[in-house]
Structure formats: C-alpha cells, structure tokens
A and B are shown apart, each in its own frame.
Chain A
Amino acid sequence: MEDEEMEIAFRLNGQAVRRRVPARLHAVDMLREIFGLSGPRVACEHGVCGACTLRVDNEIVRGCLLLAPQLEDADVWTIEGLTATGEIADLQAEFHARNAMQCGWCTAGMLITAAEILDVPAPMDRQAIREQLSGNYCRCTGYQAIVDAVEATQAKRLMARPSS
C-alpha cells in the first residue's frame, strides 16, 4: 500500500504554494513536515487541545482534523506568518510581559485563537474570553495570565481606536 498522492495549491502565510502530498496527510503534519513550520504543534491529534490551531480563510480551525488536500485554494496563516506581518505584535508583547506562556507548546494556537477574540467588534468580558479560549489547553500557566494578556490587549486596542 503506497501512499496515494495529490497535488494541492494554496496560500501559506501570504505566499502561493503548490506541492504533491500524500492524500491522507493531516494539514498540520503537512505544514510541519513538508513546509518545515514549527509554530503549529501536535499534542492531542483529535481536535481537543488546540495546539495545532491555524487560521484558514479567516476562521480558526484544527490542523489535526483537516486533511492536507482540504486546504486546496485556501488562505492559510500560521504563527510564523502572523508574526512576520506584525498583526499580533501587541498581543505577543502582552503575553511576553505577563509571562502568559511557560513551556510554549500551546502558545501559537493560543495566540491565533486570541487574535480572533480581538477581531470581534464588541469587547469581550473575562468570562467570554475564557469561553473563547476553552478549546486551547495549557498545562503550565493556569490560564490567568493568558486571559489577562488578551483582556489588556483588547483594552489597549479600544483606547487606540479613533473615537467616532
């Protein structure tokens, strides 16, 4: 039984890419093994922990629940790309200042989910932030500093918004 391969084309962190990949390869494994990315991580492999979280066509998705060919034509962003554009530099700085990461395994997925929280028009309270982050597991921090970092970034962005 040789792996059946498919050719897929999509945008990865803003760049058009095209590869032949095994049809059964998970999206996160493709990003890690074929594209050499280390931001998306594998921890539970069944969609529970959020370490493999990606932004695909402006939605957050689990890289371990998608097969690589499902990314055909998609616009895919990982923490590497979001770091390069500077889109979440304020969020990353807040995580850093508050030590909202210890071992770092969950951090990329946590940031991508948090970026979506910051993207919604109305600010979220702590409870809503916690619920939004509940699909991203962290074993080290106890979450308090993570919620703090998201809340603080949200407050700073609101302050910076031009008043209407």
Chain B
Amino acid sequence: MNKITPQTSPEAPMIGASVARPNGRRLLEGRGRYVDDIALARMAHVAFLRSPHAHARILAIHASAARTMPGVIDIVTGRDLADAVQPFAGLLVHFKGMKSAMQHCIAIDRVAWQGEPVVAIIAETRRQAEDAAARIDVEYDPLPAVSSLDVAERGEIRAQPELDDNICFTREVEGGDWDKAAAEADVFLERHFRFPRHTGVCPEGRSIIGDWNPSDRRLTVYISHQAPHMIQDCYARLLGIAESDVRVVCPDVGGSYGIKTHVYGDELATCALSMRIGRPVKFVADRLESFLSDIHNRDHAVTARLALKRDGTILSLGHEGTQAIGPYSVYPRTSVVEGNQIANICGQWYRLQAYRAKVRALFTNLVPYSNYRAVGHPVAVGVTEALVDAAAREIGMDPAEIRRKNLLRDEDFPLQTPSGMKFEGMSHHACLDKVLSMMDYEKLRADQVEARKRGIYRGIGLASMIEITNPSAMFYGVGGARISAQDGCTVRLEPQGGIMVLHGCGEQGQGTETIFAQIVADAVGVPMGAVRLVTGDTDATPYGGGTWASRGAGVGGEAAWQAGRALRKSILDLAATIHQRDAASLDIRRGLVVDAESGQEITSLSEVGRIAYFRPDTLGGMRPELSVTRHYLPTQYAFAFTNGILACHLEADPETGFIKLLKFWAVEDCGKVLNPLLVEEQLRGAIVQGIGPTLF
C-alpha cells in the first residue's frame, strides 16, 4: 500500500503539500456534471449513420422512409451542410511541404474511412434517431482502400484520389558529423521496429451539446474537451460566426488523454444542426462509434541504427520512420506532430556526436490520426532504449553501465542537441542512481541469474527518457494554428474575503483546479478553503490554451502565481492606506493582514473587502484594483524538457509467451512538486496506460 502524508498544519505552505482534491468529492458522491448530464429545454438528439466502407463513392442516400419515423425532426447530409460549414484540414506552415485533402464535417460524395459520418438524423430522442438511421439506405460504390502502412507505402492505391500520392509530410533532420562518428565506430547495429495503432479509449465518449439561440444569435457549446478557447476559435470560423458569438463550456470531463484536443466533424456538425433547427442538439459518441471515430495514434515502422565504440561510447543514432495517418490531416493540430516530435527527441538524452532522422507521414483510409497522450515519446524512447540495450548485449556491457557512460551529464547543460533541441538542464545520472537503488539492481541481477538456472526467465528493463512539456508559441502559433501557448488567470478578492480564481486551463481529473487553489492560496496568503475556482468557460475565464502537452502546472500555474501575487500587493496597498502604514511592513497570512514583523493581526480580508466595495469613498481617492489578471507565456525555451527513468521487472513463460509484470519503478525529475499526491497518481496512471499497449 502506498504511504500518504496528508497536509495537516494550516500554517504550512500549500504548495508542496499532498492536498486531496476539493472537487473530488462530487465525483465520489455521484454529483459530477458531464455533458451527458446536461438536459436543456427542447433539446434534440443526433445520431450519425457512418460509412461501413473504408473508401467508397456515395451514389445515393434514400431517407424518405426514415423521415416519417416517430420523433424524427430532420435528416441531413453533408451536401445539406456544405454552405453552412467550411471544410477543414490541419496544416501548419512551419511543417514545410505538408499537404492534406479538405475534410467535411459530414462526408460529401465520397467516404474516406470506415466510420466517417454520412447522414445525421435528428430526433426527439437518441433511440428514435437510431431507429430512423436503421431505415436509411445508402448506395455505395466501394473504392480500393489504403488499408495499412504497407499499402500506403506501395502507393498504387491513393487514400485521397485528388492528391498526387499518399505522402502528407516528410522531414529530415541531421546534426553533428555523421561520417566522423562512423569512422570512429567499432560496432554498428540496425534494428526494425513496428508500433501498432493506439488510442485513448476515454471512459466518457466524445460528447457535445450545440445550443444555438437564434434570438441572441449566439451559440453555446457544452463539450467534453481540453481546449475550450481553441474550440471557440475553430467553430466560429468554420461556422461563419463571430468569435464572441460562440461560448464554449467544458464541464467535468470523463477522461481525455489528448483525444479531446481536436475538432471532430460529427461534433462540429452537431452545432451546425442546432443552428439549422433552432434548438439545442446533443451528440454523445457511443462505444462503437468511439472506436471508429476517436483519433488514433502511433502506427509507425522504424528502422534505426546505432554506432558505438567497443568500450561502449555511443557515437551516433539514425532512424527512418513512417507513420500511417488517416485520410486527412486532423484539424487543427495536424496528424504529423507525432513524427515531428520523434525526429526532435529520439536519442537526444545521450551524448550523441551525430544524429540523422527521417520521418514521413502517409495517408491511409484508416481512422483519423492525431495527438494522443505522450505524442511521439513512446516511439522515440522505445527505439532509443531498445538500441541501447542491443548495443549493451553486443559488447557485453551491463545495461545500467552503458547508460551511465552515455547519458547526458549535469555539466553538459545548457546545450543544443544534434536535432536542434535546446535543453536547459537535466538530471539523468541522479535519476539513474536513484532508480538503481530503489530497485536494488545488483540484487535483481543476481536473482535473474539464479532464477534462469531453475528455468525461470526474469527480465529487467531500464528506459531513460525526456519529456516535452510547457510548449512555447514555437509549437503551434508559429505554424499559424490559433492554439494559444499563453494562459491567463484572474484572481479577485470577494467582499467577504473569499478569493475567486478564473483560469483558462481546465480540469479533466488531473487535479488542475486543486493546484491552482494551492498556488493562489500561498500567493495571496489565505487558507485554501477560501479559494474558489472557475474553469472551462470562455465567457468567464481569461484567454488560454487549455490543458495538453503537460502545460497546466507549468504555464497555467505560473499565471495563477503571478495573478495571486499581484492581488496580494493590491490588498496590502489598500490595507496600508486604510491603516496609514507602509505596505512593506504588512503581510497577509491565513487570510489576515498582519504586521510583517510581529505577526500581529491588523485587519481581515473581509474588512478590507467591506471598505473596498462598500465604503471606497473613505479611501481618499485611492481606487483599489482587487480583480487582477496575469498571463504567462514561456519564452526562453521552446519547451521545458524534463527527464526521468523507468524500470521494470517481469517474468516470461518461455512455453506460452505469457508475461507477468512483477514490479515497476519510475523516477521523474518534476522540478518543484506542487502536490505529491497528485503527481504520484498521474505517474501511476500514465505508467499503466503505457503498460496496456506494451503488453496487451
């Protein structure tokens, strides 16, 4: 059982304490409010009839029988929405030469994957919509389909007939002196890797209510999503209305893992349908259509090479990888970030003298493909660490030793890697030492030898890694995508002394709201219980990017800290005026304004609030600003790279191939830990989500 050390003293700082999530209670008591729990007056439901073919021409849609079914309000095809909704594709200008066909929210004339929406059926209930869908007859002329990476590579069949080939994007990276490294090397290794498709499988399927109010000419979107402002921008532009005519609300989200950072045709269509019928329309993806329409990721074939000296010094790493994306580059983050990140990070945590990468993304008629948790990292780390292990075996060196010899050292930082990434600082050797001692590595190795004599096969695996976090505007903004890298936080003093926090980063269960409350509590000087959070509403919060790429704590947390400190200063200035003191001699502790030196109470925040809001006439012209907003954007580095190491111990049955995981260890350099309880749970959850596709 894991030891937990709950925060007990109200005197201790909140930052760094294992505080249980205040918003966790409602989830434990059946009071979570997810999109499917929202029922609006006159709300209709939409079901989508989806393509049974991977690639086909739509010859005719016969829907007259369905139109007369009970409860049916409207039956809508892609062509019916052609004027109302702009087509879309994820294209970033800094990804030179990338291309994509344009995607329609509902297919027009041709379907390009099995599961693409073909007809929308709006009815009074979802059951009635599905009944009617069963009565619609669509005539298809099946076309040859690009059904795999191999078929895409051969190029005889094109996933999109309007494109010249199946290539979406190619990028080559080269750094260091490849020939010199080759000349110095004694050992050359080459390995082939195949990574299958993965997806997030959120417990809550994608869910949305589009609520167009024709009187106000305003669209309110309730959506299970990680990036409300991105949805506001994308939907406004694709539906041809002003940004301020769209309000996006993200209530509780039942799992997202990157799956809910994208624009999906069926969700966009749901809003267009609400605008068409002038009533709210709900769409909730059921499990089968989630499998057919949630984005997939991975699906790489990689050939990689490592060159090293006989003494274990790694000299160069090169790889060529191809990824099988879907029929379109997914909007707006594209389908190529995974490969791009592999090119950026593969092997870069070792002291490489030379590096070469070539990544290609090929269109297929498989399910659309884009960013899912840990974008690119599992492939980059898997390839690198398997090569390093192969090298250790080849030269007869211990896997921990070869890492110790080659991992970037503390004195190497800051540095620019051969792939061009800038690293500020890392702690690979401290992490390695720590994990080896946690797992008692020597003892496990001895046990491994001894067990093998008894015919028991135990394996010990190490994987050093780096992680892209807190991206700057160099990630999307530079490529023209309107996905904000900055985030904003408003903190305000309420008249009775409470603190209201409005933040652009939302909560999907990670504990985002909890860490913001901890940060603001310390920044202002109040107990955490005095802090209330509002997130996930574009009408309420400052503009921000939302929650993805491990940016909530690093970017969002810094905005919360700066806003909290600014409010603290405002309160102290005001208290100083009221009590005719020097603000520098005052402090705020546990919600009280005190003498900084003696700690003696001078006034309370509720008294400051009373005067500020109800008797500002007594302040002699001072106009206190007790609602402050701060925005934060990382600028020094394109990404804040973190690092860590993972280790596992398992047993394999040589006859059946069954693998039993015995134990798993992780050491990650998280920087300042805001809440150990939440960090540990995030790590455990992430590790298990990684074990899933690795072993099963």
Which residues in A have some Cβ–Cβ distance to B below 8 Å?
A: 1-3, 22, 24, 32, 37-46, 49, 51, 78-80, 83, 92, 95-99, 101-108, 111, 137-145, 148, 151-152
Closest to B1 in A: A148
Q: What is the minimal beta-carbon distance from A36 to any residue of chain B, in angstroms?
A: 8
Q: Taking the complex as formed, is B671 at the interface, i.e. its CB lies under 8 A from any CB of chain A?
A: no
Decide yes or no: A139 and B29 within 8 Å by CB, A45-B286, A99-B677 being known contacts: no
Which interface class (under 10, 10 to 19, 20 to 34, 35 or more) fits B?
A: 35 or more
Contact check: which of B26, B28, B255 meets A111 at CB < 8 Å? B28
Which residues in B have some Cβ–Cβ distance to A below 8 Å?
A: 1-2, 4, 6, 20-21, 24-34, 36-37, 69-70, 127, 131, 200-205, 252-257, 286-287, 508-511, 677-678, 681, 684-689
Contact check: which of A102, A142, A144 meets B509 at CB < 8 Å? A102
B689-A98 in contact (CB<8A): no
Which B residues lie within 8 Å of A1 (CB)? Answer: 69-70, 131
Known: A38-B34, A102-B685, A142-B687. 16 other contacts (CB 8 A): A2-B70, A38-B30, A43-B205, A79-B29, A96-B24, A99-B20, A99-B21, A103-B508, A103-B509, A104-B509, A105-B254, A139-B202, A139-B257, A141-B685, A141-B688, A142-B685
B508-A22 in contact (CB<8A): no
CA distance A41 to B25 in the complex (A): 17
Closest to B32 in A: A104
CA distance A49 to B4 in the complex (A): 28
Q: What is the minimal beta-carbon distance from B618 to any residue of chain A, in angstroms?
A: 44
Decide yes or no: A101 and B509 within 8 Å by CB, A38-B30, A45-B287, A142-B687 being known contacts: yes
CA distance A131 to B678 in the complex (A): 25
A139-B203 in contact (CB<8A): yes
A96-B25 in contact (CB<8A): yes
Contact check: which of B20, B33, B689 meets A142 at CB < 8 Å? B689
List the 7 shortest-distance A-B pairs measured between CB atoms, nearest first.
A39-B30, A104-B27, A142-B688, A103-B509, A102-B509, A105-B254, A79-B30
B29-A80 in contact (CB<8A): yes
CA distance A157 to B315 in the complex (A): 59
Decide yes or no: A106 and B20 within 8 Å by CB, A39-B30, A139-B255, A145-B684 being known contacts: no
Q: List 21 A-B contacts (CB under 8 A).
A: A2-B70, A22-B127, A24-B127, A37-B30, A38-B33, A40-B30, A43-B287, A44-B287, A80-B30, A97-B4, A97-B6, A98-B677, A101-B24, A102-B511, A103-B253, A104-B254, A106-B203, A107-B28, A108-B30, A142-B685, A148-B1
Q: What is the minimal beta-carbon distance from A94 to any residue of chain B, in angstroms?
A: 10
**Prevailing SS type, chain B contact patch:** loop
CA distance A106 to B32 in the complex (A): 11
A137-B203 in contact (CB<8A): yes
CA distance A145 to B688 in the complex (A): 12
B254-A103 in contact (CB<8A): yes
B70-A140 in contact (CB<8A): no
Closest to B681 in A: A99
Which A residues lie within 8 Å of B677 (CB)? Answer: 98-99
Most chain B beta-carbon contacts within 10 A, residue among A38, A78, A151: A38
Q: What is the minimal beta-carbon distance from B505 to any residue of chain A, in angstroms?
A: 16
Query: What is the count of residue pairs linking A and B with beta-carbon distances less than 8 angstroms?
Result: 142
Closest to B70 in A: A2
CA distance A66 to B452 in the complex (A): 50
Contact check: which of B27, B202, B681 meets A107 at CB < 8 Å? B27
CA distance A96 to B681 in the complex (A): 12
CA distance A43 to B203 in the complex (A): 5
A46-B685 in contact (CB<8A): no
A152-B1 in contact (CB<8A): yes
Closest to A78 in B: B30
Q: What is the minimal beta-carbon distance from B354 to any residue of chain A, in angstroms?
A: 38
Closest to A95 in B: B28
Decide yes or no: A101 and B203 within 8 Å by CB, A42-B36, A96-B20, A140-B255 being known contacts: no
B30-A3 in contact (CB<8A): no
B36-A140 in contact (CB<8A): no
Which B residues lie within 8 Å of A83 (CB)? Answer: 28-30
Q: What is the minimal beta-carbon distance from A47 to any residue of chain B, in angstroms?
A: 11
Which A residues lie within 8 Å of B681 (CB)? Answer: 99, 102, 141-142, 145
CA distance A39 to B26 in the complex (A): 10
CA distance A38 to B684 in the complex (A): 27
Which A residues lie within 8 Å of B509 (CB)? Answer: 101-104, 140
Which B residues lie within 8 Å of A45 (CB)? Answer: 286-287
Contact check: which of B2, B27, B36, B687 meets A101 at CB < 8 Å? B27
Closest to B201 in A: A139
CA distance A25 to B341 in the complex (A): 47
Decide yes or no: A103 and B204 within 8 Å by CB, A80-B30, A142-B685, A142-B687 being known contacts: yes
A99-B678 in contact (CB<8A): yes
CA distance A44 to B26 in the complex (A): 22
B204-A144 in contact (CB<8A): no
Closest to A39 in B: B30
Which A residues lie within 8 Å of B686 (CB)? Answer: 142
Closest to A81 in B: B30
Which A residues lie within 8 Å of B26 (CB)? Answer: 104
Q: What is the minimal beta-carbon distance from B694 to any residue of chain A, in angstroms?
A: 14
B32-A151 in contact (CB<8A): no
CA distance A143 to B2 in the complex (A): 12
Which A residues lie within 8 Å of B37 (CB)? Answer: 32, 38
